[in-house]
Amino acid sequence: MMKVPDYIAKLEAYVPGKPIEELEREYGISGPVKLASNENPIGPSPKAVEAIRAALKNLHRYPDGYSYHLRKKLGEKLGVANDKIVFGNGSNEIIELLVRTFIREGDWVVIPSPSFLMYEIIVQAAGGQIVKVALKDLYVDLEAMAKSVSENTRMIFVNNPNNPTGTIISRDAFDRFLEKIPPDVIVVMDEAYIDFIRDKDFVVGLDYLDSRNLVVSLRTFSKAYGLAGLRLGYGVMKKDLADFMNRVRQPFNTNTLAQIGALAALDDEVFFEKTVKMVHEELDLLFAQVSKLGLRCFPTQTNFFLIDVQRDAKEVFEGMLHKGVIVRAMNAYGYPNYIRVNVGLPEENRRFVKALKEVI
């Protein structure tokens, strides 16, 4: 009988949203609408697609293990030194690299709850001890998180904006929080949705790279740049942290096409601005239309939002599936009556509202 550590045996796998192909196969529905995975509905950056197409002839070569050109351009865009950046196969891998590099069995890691489910999975897989701190009115409760820190705490995850609630953290609140955190505890700011924030009173992890605290900023090309299928994310941090993580990181963890696509996407300001503008406009319309159905929508600073459907979210999820619309039931996050919906194209959003009205 194969033996594995108890903390591995007790792991529950992350369940992603249903792929479109699976929905078509299971339910016999053609042309379904996927609004479950917070993807860019417009598609990928056209400049990225063009650059990738031109790079296909070089697929027999290994990728640049240091991501030199992308590192240089991104460093210039963010105004940070190149040696403070670590690239990963999605920001998920940066989370994993952080845990693998700095967390040992028994170390405490503080996370908000609910939040991104992969924090808990990755920490548990490393034998770390998860300390969950409940949200307060859907917001990350920084005061309670600070109080949960002990001499065993090695890392804290702060999701800003938070997934799945879409709420943000103010700079003043974060400053007060950092004052209470020991300087040897790594504070990870997961900023996957930062490009969609409209409220200007929010904290940015990059502003704290030179502070006394060990603040790490996580970003991704999956959302506003539309490159989710290429899996490319990055972390920005103090040079010493980046150096240790690069020693642990696999040498070719980001593939050639991902690097080429991201490099081109950084120059595609027209696409980026088009994405953000459409998301904001469609969010406002969706809020108005869903509210007319008598359902409560929760304010958001992301490209998705929560809806209280006032019944079992799994039933609504199934009902929507039969109408060819994929949403996310929030039961696993502790919100059994909520669904999460990301913004789609205008016609997809109208179809969603129509289907939701019929299901409820």
pLDDT computed for residue 17 by the predictor: 61
| Residues 104-124 pLDDT 10s | 999 999 999 999 999 999 999
Band the pLDDT of 1: cuts 50, 70, 90: low
Region 290-301: what's the mean pLDDT?
96
* Distances, alpha carbon 189 to alpha carbons 159, 206, 214, 237, 330, in Å: 6, 9, 11, 10, 23
Looking at residue 189, the DSSP 8-state letter turns out to be E
- On the question of pLDDT at 24 being above 80, the answer is no
pLDDT computed for residue 10 by the predictor: 72
| Residues 40-69 pLDDT 10s | 999 999 999 999 999 999 999 999 999 999
User: What is the chain's mean pLDDT, rounded?
Assistant: 94
Residues 6 or more apart whose Cβ sits within 8 Å of residue 281: none
DSSP H or E run through 174: helix 171-179
| Residues 65-111 pLDDT 10s | 999 999 999 999 999 999 999 999 999 999 999 999 999 999 999 99
| Residues 119-140 pLDDT 10s | 999 999 999 999 999 999 999 9
pLDDT computed for residue 6 by the predictor: 76
Give yes or no for a contact between 145 and 110, defined as CB atoms under 8 angstroms apart: yes
Strand pairing category for 153-159 and 108-113? parallel
| Residues 187-230 pLDDT 10s | 999 999 999 999 988 999 999 999 999 999 999 999 999 999 99
Give yes or no for a contact between 190 and 300, defined as CB atoms under 8 angstroms apart: no
Region 273-278: what's the mean pLDDT?
97
Whose CA is closest to 154, among 105, 191, 90, 88? 105
Region 338-357: what's the mean pLDDT?
97
List domains and CATH numbers for the chain.
6-43+269-359 (3.90.1150.10), 46-265 (3.40.640.10)
| Residues 163-188 pLDDT 10s | 999 999 999 999 999 999 999 999 99
